[in-house]
Structure 1
Amino acid sequence: MSPLLRYPTVDELATRAAALVTRRPRDARLERVGTSRAGNPLLLLSVGHGSRHALVVAGPHANEPVGGGTVLRLAERALADPALTENADATLNLLLCLDPDGLRRNEGWLHGPYTLGRHFRHFFRPGFLEQPEWLPDGADAVTLPETRALLDLQDELRPLLQCSLHGVDVGGGFVELTHDLPGLPQRVAHTARRLGVPLELGPYDTLYWPSLGPAVYRIPPPRRGDLAAAITEAAVESTWFHPYRHGTVTAVVEAPMWGVRAVQDGSPCADPTAVLRTVSGTLRRDTQLLERISARIRPHVAAAPDAERLLAPVDDYLLVCPGLADTWDPDTDDGPHPLPPLGSAHLAALRISGRRLALRTAGLLHQLVTAAGSDPADALPELDRLLDAWCADYLDGCGARWIPVARQVEYQSRVVLDALALTARRADSLSGEPDWGSQAAVPMHRE
């Protein structure tokens, strides 16, 4: 299958990056900047030799592989266009995958066929404390080698722009920023419209965050909180904010795998209270069902390969789901924050988010039973029925439709290039010295 039609694996990323360097040894180089917990190299592909740096981080979440294709596409574009590097005193630094160990665990679905059932049955994402972008105890207490490698890279490069590349399994695209970049919402909308990618106008991740324009949101400064808050509210200490001290603009660029048009419906909802009751009630019932299944299988899967790593995210999801259901329930006062006004897009995103948590949990439990090699609790048939029914709800109830990998990559790479141009314009306006990434160098993309 053509590399443009599927997601690259860890090994394919390294091979294709090395081939680019072999072809253009004067302009590109590949170096090892760290080693993962399982011994996989953390590889940085750099294009250009300028003094102004951009850092693009692929694969921070193990189940979001689009960034690997995006960094390779960005390298090809930078090598083909001297205006991006050679003539701009600029270097584009591309971290091929921040969590290669986790990406390897997703290889059961990376090459397709791309169906929701296959995706969630082979889904892996580590528990919150093993996700390398988060700093739950601050930068000085970091123990994950992947996180330490990224922090060291940020402090060494002091990049003008950092882009963290993420993928939305079901929903739409959106961007989160540590600084305002005027003009970016219009550019994101243009790219999404041209490529047929829906934009999320009310993602759950940004429910309480300021909007900088349609599908572009401002990340609030980090604050300490308990584990449940940290898992569900991303404005915690993270590698997104660590380079803020260097004046770095961070852009988190989310690209969807299965698109849902309802997430870009900006109209008001006729009865949001009724929708919230349905969404919260569904999540509460699904969680109780999954808790019972989990309790039933645990005595039989404890010795399964990697049981601890598979159970950690299960425990995270089962920890946060009851609180989320209460927060979304209009008939309870137990949530930590009152909900903001919600339109149709917000409510569609909440429905998708609740279903996502249930599907991920069911998929991980399915893998645990499968890895154990036997099913004395007779859980697999029930988990299969749940996975099939919940995936069908995404397809039939939400209208989820697969977006080809090449289009996901093209969307994400264009947003990164636009963020790069606008960050450079911002830096030039602050310094008063026009330089890298002028608007003429990277115009709005048009076919």
Structure 2
Amino acid sequence: MYEPASAAETPGTAEDILRRAGSVPAHTSFPTVDELGSAMERLRAQRPDLITVERVGTSRLGEPIPLYHVGSGARSALVVGGVHPNEPIGSLTALHLVEQLITDDALRAGLDTTWHIIPCADPDGMRLNEAWFADPSDRETYAREFFRPAPAEQVEWTFPFSYKSAYFDAMMPETQALARAIDLAAPDLYVPLHNSEGGGAYFYLSGPAPELYDLLHALPASLGIPLHAGEPEGAHFTVLAPAIYEMGTLQDVYDWSESLGLDPYPPGSSGDASTSYARKHGTLSLIAELPQFSDPAAGDTSTSDRDYATELRRNGELLVQSGQRLVALIARTEPHLRLDTPLLRAARVFAPLAVSAGEANIARAAAPASVRPATVAEVSALDDLVHLHRLRWGGMLARALSAEVAAGTAAPEVRRAAATAQELFDGWLQEALAAQSTEPLPLSAVVGAQYGSILAAHAHVARERSCASS
């Protein structure tokens, strides 16, 4: 663990950033949407001279979406929480950032930046996750109460997109609010706050920044968080350094899928990312994916006794099989469903996408480059991917069908399907709990690493802008 350095360190140096990252207080829970809003308002009441707020939009269910402005400096940074409502580490990170900015005059002056912060970009979606916020270390409750919107309902992925046969322009009100915030801030640095579920830490950058890599690696290491050394989230990502990837574009994803003979824009596909929208401002975007649960195999690059192509094929077949079971269950109940819920809409889209993900891995297994020994981290990441798809989409379908039963609107076919979905999910959950050796990470550590990464990216931007102007 990194030892705190002296208070005399210069703000923005690696030593200072590591010290600040290691000084986040302990937390045992995530704030609900209401608690997050109240906490931000308490901070604003403490320093009304430093914090102002304006409303930039309204959620689909009528929730105001505020944009807070902190300080007044030469540069601009935009930090946004809740872009994926199942990723609440950013709620604590945003609160900690604001608290530090208004209580540490030396930090605020040294950063010389106007900070723009949206605490939660998707309050409606986040409320559907709140049942596990009180004890995020409880994996079973997390799995049973998990919600992630369908791709076309994700704030992060519903910006306009047009490429070849793909076209998307269905911007949600929340997406319009985020676009408005990006244009108001015209940020030098943009950080949408994400987190992963398990494994190790990894990062995305909108472009190469070699001077930043060592510090991004040092931040999780100093806090006892392994780096992710397994499969990236998508095989199309460019690896800039271990556990650091270039975001690329949705066009890259389209072309990569097309090259494998897959449908590059299947039904239910979404739009472009907020980071792509921010490019027009010359923005450096950073995503710091911090895991809630640590996997000791996540950073193990030693060779396993498994063949990579075989593991890809096995993983793909399990994903296809699991997705097809959910697709069939939805098809059986579709004529009898009466409630149009976010959970049901998400399950409808994600179940076939699990099949697509499996087919992609089967296609990759046929490539000559895949015939090699797999690392321990790669095997672990592929296994975790199966559990993730099963529990997320199976759990949301079980919740959606149970809602019909609880509402008293369920036909006999729906009641039977609800029981089947619950039984299927329960079996997958027990299998995952028995197979996974993960441990919950201290929230102070993951928040500290995410907060530190913001400071690290800011310091890089400040140096780049200073060099460009000199």
TM-score of the two chains, using structure 1 as the length reference:
0.86
**The one of 157, 161, 167 aligned to 1:134:** 157
Write out per-residue CA displacement over residues 347-385 of structure 1, whole angstroms, 9 at most, x where no aligned residue. 322222222111111111111122112674434554444
The separation in 1 between residues aligned to 2:175 and 2:321, in whole angstroms, is 36
Quick one: which amino acid aligns to residue 126 of structure 1?
Answer: P
2:318 partner SS: helix
**The one of 247, 255, 272 aligned to 2:282:** 247
**The one of 20, 29, 54 aligned to 1:31:** 54
Quick one: which amino acid aligns to residue 120 of structure 1?
Answer: A
Cα distance, 1:187 vs. partner?
1.7
Cα distance, 1:148 vs. partner?
1.2
The separation in 1 between residues aligned to 2:405 and 2:26, in whole angstroms, is 34
- Unaligned stretches of 5+ in structure 1? 433-447
- Give the 4+ runs in structure 1 shifted more than 6 A: 337-341
Write out per-residue CA displacement over residues 393-430 of structure 1, whole angstroms, 9 at most, x where no aligned residue. 44432312212333322221112211111222222222
The separation in 2 between residues aligned to 1:388 and 1:254, in whole angstroms, is 28
Contact in 1 for aligned 2:323/2:352 (Cα 8 Å): no
Cα distance, 1:235 vs. partner?
11
Quick one: which amino acid aligns to residue 399 of structure 2?
Answer: Q
**The one of 218, 225, 231 aligned to 2:246:** 218
1:261 partner SS: coil
Write out per-residue CA displacement over residues 54-103 of structure 1, whole angstroms, 9 at most, x where no aligned residue. 10111101111111111001111222333443344311211101111100
- Note the 1:427-446 alignment, pairs <5 A: 427-432=465-470
- Unaligned stretches of 5+ in structure 2? 1-24, 163-167
Cα distance, 1:246 vs. partner?
1.4
Q: What residue number does 1:438 align with?
A: none
- Note the 1:131-280 alignment, pairs <5 A: 131-135=154-158, 137-138=160-161, 141-223=169-251, 225=254, 229=264, 237-270=272-305, 271-280=307-316
Structure 1 residues 124 and 343: CA distance shift in structure 2, 3 A: same
Structure 1 residues 318 and 259: CA distance shift in structure 2, 3 A: same
Q: What residue number does 2:20 align with?
A: none
Structure 1 residues 193 and 332: CA distance shift in structure 2, 3 A: closer
Cα distance, 1:5 vs. partner?
1.5
Cα distance, 1:28 vs. partner?
1.8
Quick one: which amino acid aligns to residue 324 of structure 2?
Answer: Q
2:210 partner SS: coil
Q: Which moved more, 1:195-204 or 1:13-22?
A: 195-204
Cα distance, 1:3 vs. partner?
8.7
Write out per-residue CA displacement over residues 131-178 of structure 1, whole angstroms, 9 at most, x where no aligned residue. 112246439935311111111221222111000111112222211010
Cα distance, 1:247 vs. partner?
1.1
Cα distance, 1:53 vs. partner?
0.7
Q: What residue number does 2:134 align with?
A: 111
Contact in 2 for aligned 1:179/1:249 (Cα 8 Å): yes
Q: How many residues align?
A: 425
- Note the 1:50-69 alignment, pairs <5 A: 50-69=73-92
Query: Within the alignment, does 1:417 sit opposite 2:455 as a pair?
Result: yes
Contact in 1 for aligned 2:288/2:450 (Cα 8 Å): yes
The separation in 1 between residues aligned to 2:460 and 2:193, in whole angstroms, is 18
TM-score of the two chains, using structure 2 as the length reference:
0.82
Query: Within the alignment, does 1:356 sit opposite 2:388 as a pair?
Result: yes
Query: Within the alignment, does 1:313 sit opposite 2:346 as a pair?
Result: yes
Contact in 1 for aligned 2:82/2:126 (Cα 8 Å): yes
Write out per-residue CA displacement over residues 326-354 of structure 1, whole angstroms, 9 at most, x where no aligned residue. 22226976x9x986976432332222222
Q: What residue number does 2:11 align with?
A: none
The separation in 2 between residues aligned to 1:343 and 1:208, in whole angstroms, is 19
Structure 1 residues 378 and 235: CA distance shift in structure 2, 3 A: closer
Query: Within the alignment, does 1:326 sit opposite 2:397 as a pair?
Result: no
Q: What residue number does 2:44 align with?
A: 21
Cα distance, 1:257 vs. partner?
1.1
Q: CA RMSD in A?
A: 3.0
The separation in 1 between residues aligned to 2:180 and 2:364, in whole angstroms, is 47
Structure 1 residues 164 and 231: CA distance shift in structure 2, 3 A: farther
Contact in 2 for aligned 1:117/1:391 (Cα 8 Å): yes
Contact in 2 for aligned 1:14/1:43 (Cα 8 Å): no
Contact in 2 for aligned 1:60/1:133 (Cα 8 Å): yes
Quick one: which amino acid aligns to residue 35 of structure 2?
Answer: E
Quick one: which amino acid aligns to residue 195 of structure 2?
Answer: G
Contact in 1 for aligned 2:82/2:193 (Cα 8 Å): yes
The separation in 2 between residues aligned to 1:161 and 1:21, in whole angstroms, is 23
The separation in 2 between residues aligned to 1:340 and 1:22, in whole angstroms, is 60
Contact in 1 for aligned 2:152/2:270 (Cα 8 Å): no
The separation in 2 between residues aligned to 1:228 and 1:96, in whole angstroms, is 36
Q: What residue number does 2:3 align with?
A: none
Query: Within the alignment, does 1:399 sit opposite 2:437 as a pair?
Result: yes
Identity of aligned residues (%): 30
Cα distance, 1:52 vs. partner?
1.0
Q: What residue number does 1:292 align with?
A: 328
Q: Which moved more, 1:247-256 or 1:37-46?
A: 37-46
The separation in 2 between residues aligned to 1:231 and 1:166, in whole angstroms, is 25
Structure 1 residues 89 and 406: CA distance shift in structure 2, 3 A: closer
Quick one: which amino acid aligns to residue 143 of structure 2?
Answer: F
The separation in 2 between residues aligned to 1:406 and 1:249, in whole angstroms, is 26
